[in-house]
Structure 1
Amino acid sequence: MKSSFTILLLFFTFFCYSQKVFSAKYTNQADVKVFVVKYESQADLNIYKVKYQNQAGKNDGKWFFVEYENQADKKIYFVDYESQADLKIYFVEYENQAGWRNKEKIHLMY
């Protein structure tokens, strides 16, 4: 009984933090409003878009964009102005560049 609970807890923890995101059409459908900044130094989080779902990270900036809302762990909405955003992101070219620059906002993607 105890071991099955531990396995279940580990299973839940693994999937709870994966970063499968869905780009919502409307702001009221989103969990987090994001703005894409021009320069890496302006970002709260550097994002690397992975090609496959199993490569998605655990709140470390490696995102997989899903096709359907019900597949996502987080729903995001891209705003037009920085002042409207909860989170500022920058898309990086290489996987090792992904990660948090402002850890104060890390809770937004849990």
Structure 2
Amino acid sequence: SSQADLLVYKVQYESQAGKNDGKWFFVKYESQADKKIYFVDYASQADLVIHFVDYESQAGWKDNSKKQLLY
């Protein structure tokens, strides 16, 4: 996770999703989403590098300069 801009924890319920703090809830349909995320094959193609973490307490920004990308 040393190259990650953001550490993301996938929460179980939509109500647990944070406000740009790395706690994400994945919806079933694109129309329900606040943000669209596209996964790429190479980190060099990404605007934002994320790593998924196992614990909610690990979630958060590593590079605050990228935070604006999700506002």
Deviation of 1:67 (Å): 0.6
Higher strand share: 1
SS where residue 36 of structure 2 aligns?
A: strand
Asked if 1:104 corresponds to 2:48, the answer is: no
SS where residue 87 of structure 1 aligns?
A: coil
RMSD: 0.5
Asked if 1:62 corresponds to 2:23, the answer is: yes
TM-score computed with the length of structure 2 as normaliser: 0.97
Deviation of 1:51 (Å): 0.5
Higher helix share: 1
1:10-89 to structure 2, matched below 5 A, reads 40-89=1-50
Deviation beyond 6 Å, 4+ runs, structure 1: none
**Rg larger for:** 1
Q: How many residues are aligned here?
A: 71
Structure 1, unpaired ranges of 5+: 1-39
Structure 2, unpaired ranges of 5+: none
Considering Cα pairs closer than 8 Å and 6+ residues apart, tell me whether 1 or 2 has the greater RCO: 2
